[in-house]
Amino acid sequence: MKMQTVAICLGALLTNAALPAHAETAAPQPAQSSQPTHGACALVKAEDLKALMGEVPSYSSKKGSCTWTVAGKPTKLITTKFPDDGMAAEMAYYDIEKNASSGGPVISTKGLGDKGFARLNKIGVVLVTIKNGKLLQMVYATGAPGTEKDIEALKPVAMKVLEGF
């Protein structure tokens, strides 16, 4: 039952354009002064986001996810690592993949992890991939409908994250 609940939560993230589960409650931490060392924030290095977001972003952490933002810009990157590995992560991936097409066009991301896909939606791109039995979701909100160009921009960041998986 726990796995089903987590899969439903991840599925809701994938289809929810407003992303209310990631509302920031604390002031973002400036990434320039300290690299996060725990949770989903430690998955991404702030300097790796500079090309994607135009400058080094700030971050805030909440419930297993990390939100990276740049003050005054509409772009946002949310990284979430599924808390369970192995079969539970695989089952969650397949459940998310099965329901992905209901939210927008789905594009394969061959070569990014063991398997994965990206979904274009009205706020940007949702990338979901699994590597070594670990599930990663990245939401790149651009403030506009997602494009394949956004997927290409996100891929180098995702590749860096997956190196540590």
95 SS3 class: helix
> For 137-146, how does the pLDDT look when each residue is reduced to its tens digit (9 = 90+)?
999 999 999 9
pLDDT at position 148, please?
Answer: 94
pLDDT at position 16, please?
Answer: 40
Sheet holding 115-121, edge to edge: 29-30, 58-62, 65-69, 76-81, 134-141, 124-131, 115-121, 106-108
> For 97-145, how does the pLDDT look when each residue is reduced to its tens digit (9 = 90+)?
988 878 788 999 988 999 999 999 999 999 999 999 999 999 999 999 9
What predicted TM-score, i.e. pTM, was given to this entire model? 0.78
Question: Does residue 72 contact residue 143 with C-beta atoms inside 8 Å?
Answer: no
- The least confident of 36-50, 83-97, 110-124 is 36-50
Whether domain 2-163 has CATH 2.40.128: the reply is no
Cross-strand partners of 134: 131
In this predicted structure, the answer to whether residue 2 has a pLDDT above a threshold of 80 is: no
Domain residue limits, the chain: 2-163
Running DSSP on this structure, what letter comes out for residue 41?
G
